[in-house]
Structure 1
């Protein structure tokens, strides 16, 4: 079942400057080391667009996405994940992927940065991203055009209610402070290599306080 509201609301595809160090992202050869799991990073697009003037000119900001996928990051013991393998997708697949990862250049940069650590080619990798995104159901507060104040516990419970197979420890939240007000910027979901949800490892960062703002529009 589709999770994201695939119209004006999605999140963005960022380079994995998102807690990359803590995840041990890496190697230039596929199968270089076993993948222990994946972390899917869902970005709150309005918050990200507001915080970064450079990103505000990207498609996800200009077209009013609410959520977008920043990346599906491999957890591995390797220390270098770069690959020169092609990130080119068929026109049809590129169109589908753009619904949750709208910026083509960011998708290409992401693949070249982490593709050496995943046991699949670019087409298979982005198909996996879509599969995970379509299975995930998100609370309506994340796609509302209105700003909302949310308690971390309540948001977590909503995710668990909508996704019964998700353990409480499979979801992490990241925030950024704006004039002293914490704003939700990312939701991270943790997966086993087979795609089932799992408890996030200690390396997956989380920093939101008990209460924060969900920005509804940019």
Structure 2
């Protein structure tokens, strides 16, 4: 497990990141407020690495990560075909890059998130990744996501209830689970969580769960 416990802490590497309210103030000052809610995508690396062989050389697959941040985008963009808004990698300080490696270990993933999502939101790279840090800091996930050894089948509704119980103020439709099937197993691959621009949990306007009643949690190998 590469996160600070189950929650990603802002204390990583001793760097304190400004809260999301600061980001909202920056957006207002720049006359580019985000009108839509944010959607944070957390990928379950063991399942993703199993289902997508082309990713197996990435650090997130090679080094035993359990959870990684896939990206942050507005809910409106989740309903549209992704657009590449920048052909340049994000400009970040070495300290920022070291912090982000705890959440997004692979540079290719960070670059893609910025080019497809962050650059399309009217934010600087620093603002975008600061928002990712702040939003992820607020989220708690069950200990079962860290387990090693054997795969585990879980009840979808019980898992959703456990996530909601861990996160005060998280609406029942403020998050949803995404799954993919390979042969006879349906793996949980993603948890999507919705926030308002102040960094508070919010009900998702676009609610698209697709997991069956029972799903498989891929263990860390």
Fold match (TM-score > 0.5)? yes
Classify the secondary structure of the residue corresponding to 1:216.
coil
Q: Report the Cα distance in structure 1 between the residues aligned to 2:94 and 2:35, rounded to whole angstroms.
A: 29
Q: Report the Cα distance in structure 2 between the residues aligned to 1:31 and 1:69, rounded to whole angstroms.
A: 28
- Whose helix proportion is higher, 1 or 2? 2
Residue among 165, 175, 200 paired with 2:179: 175
Q: Report the Cα distance in structure 1 between the residues aligned to 2:6 and 2:93, rounded to whole angstroms.
A: 22
Classify the secondary structure of the residue corresponding to 1:46.
helix
RMSD: 2.3
Which ranges in structure 1 are unaligned for 5 or more consecutive residues? 7-29
Aligned to 1:103: 106
Greater alpha carbon shift after TM alignment, 181-190 vs 143-152: 143-152
Contact 1:35–1:118 (CA<8 Å) still a contact in 2? no
- Identify if the C-alpha distance between structure 1 residues 31 and 119 changes in structure 2 by more than 3 Å, giving closer, same or farther: farther
Q: Report the Cα distance in structure 1 between the residues aligned to 2:118 and 2:203, rounded to whole angstroms.
A: 24
List per-residue Cα deviations over 1:14-43 (Å, max 9, x = no partner).
xxxxxxxxxxxxxxxx96784311111100
Report the TM-score when normalising by structure 2.
0.79
Query: Between Structure 1 and Structure 2, how many residues are aligned?
Result: 193
Aligned to 2:161: 157
Deviation at 1:115, TM superposition (A): 2.7
Superposition pairs of residues 29-178 of structure 1, within 5 angstroms: 34-76=34-76, 80=83, 82-83=85-86, 87-146=90-149, 147-178=151-182
Classify the secondary structure of the residue corresponding to 1:54.
helix
- Identify if the C-alpha distance between structure 1 residues 207 and 190 changes in structure 2 by more than 3 Å, giving closer, same or farther: same
Classify the secondary structure of the residue corresponding to 2:110.
helix
